[in-house]
Amino acid sequence: MLDNYNRNINYLRISVTDRCNLRCTYCMPEEGIDLMAHDEILSFEQITDFVKEAVASGITKIRLTGGEPLVRKGIVDLVQLLSDIPGIGEIAMTTNGILLDQFADQLAKAGLQRVNISLDTLNPEKYKKITRLGDIEDVFKGIKAAQKAGLHPVKINCVRMLDADLDDLENLRQFCKSNNLELRFIKQMDLSTGEFSVVEGGKGGNCLECNRIRLTANGKVKPCLFNASEFDSKELGNKEAIDKSINQKPEAGTKNKNGSFYGIGG
């Protein structure tokens, strides 16, 4: 039997691809990463079947992520398929915004309700340096397109790096305030140790309040991004993989010696 804490799991993050059109310095090496074979990636039918089972287990909210979800061919069709599933109350997406100008209106009509857009600086040169490939003007177009399409609230995710320029961060804060955008600062994670902190402007990283599980692009179900446990939905079946993942959720937050949450957050 699941404890009271685990009965509150109602949020599913779905990585629809491991591909990305950027190479952010804090995320991956310049040459990229070893990518999954295409035949390992879940089909839309497999994702839809998984979500139907997840709804039966209490899931009511979906967030589509990547990699970069907008590089997945047919992403609008997937949103439509998910929005047609009874019991889903919210579909959201985290994106770098580069392609959002092209898709925002179609996504909203298909059932997407809100977006989080990654933006770490307003300085075009810094943005190019951080992302290696990105043009910040594409992100600005994506933000406007999302607002015009009614994808509210539009949230901005800013990774606060160790050498962050405070003036740069303040400019971003004022930009968001002036444009009716919600800003969340996310401390740069230590990917070697799995250490991270509670998100400023959100609840991410707080194990005590975590209400989500994750589905990877190749069908593994994880209690958390940094939890070593994962359960293969292709081998176990959707229901068993979901149940095992929920039962791995922590009953309380675990902190490291510096007071940051460690290794088991949402």
pLDDT of residue 266: 36
Mean predicted confidence (pLDDT) in 204-233: 83
Residue 263 inside a domain? The answer is no
Residue 253 inside a domain? The answer is no
Q: 196 is written with which tokens? A: 């991270």
Helix (H) or strand (E) holding 222: strand 220-222
**Mean pLDDT, the chain, whole residue set:** 86
Mean predicted confidence (pLDDT) in 18-35: 85
Mean predicted confidence (pLDDT) in 76-100: 98
Q: Which domain holds residue 201?
A: 11-248
- What CA–CA distance (Å, rounded) separates 163 from 248? 35
Q: CA torsion angle for 198, 229, 257, 206 (degrees, to 10)? A: 20
CATH code: domain of residue 99: 3.20.20.70
Residue 193 inside a domain? The answer is yes
Contact 67, 19 (CB under 8 A): yes
Mean predicted confidence (pLDDT) in 208-232: 86
Mean predicted confidence (pLDDT) in 39-64: 97
- % residues pLDDT > 90 (the chain): 68
Residue 1 inside a domain? The answer is no
Residue 5 inside a domain? The answer is no
Q: Examine the pLDDT at 35 and tell me if it is beyond 80.
A: yes
Residue 54 inside a domain? The answer is yes
Cβ-in-10-Å burial (0-12, 13-18, 19+) of 102 comes to: middle
Q: Examine the pLDDT at 206 and tell me if it is beyond 90.
A: no
Residue 125 inside a domain? The answer is yes
- What CA–CA distance (Å, rounded) separates 27 from 65? 14
pLDDT of residue 191: 52
pLDDT of residue 189: 61
Coarse DSSP helix, strand, coil percentages of the chain, rounded to the nearest 5 percent: 35, 20, 45
Residue 80 inside a domain? The answer is yes
What domain count does the chain have? 1
Mean predicted confidence (pLDDT) in 208-228: 85
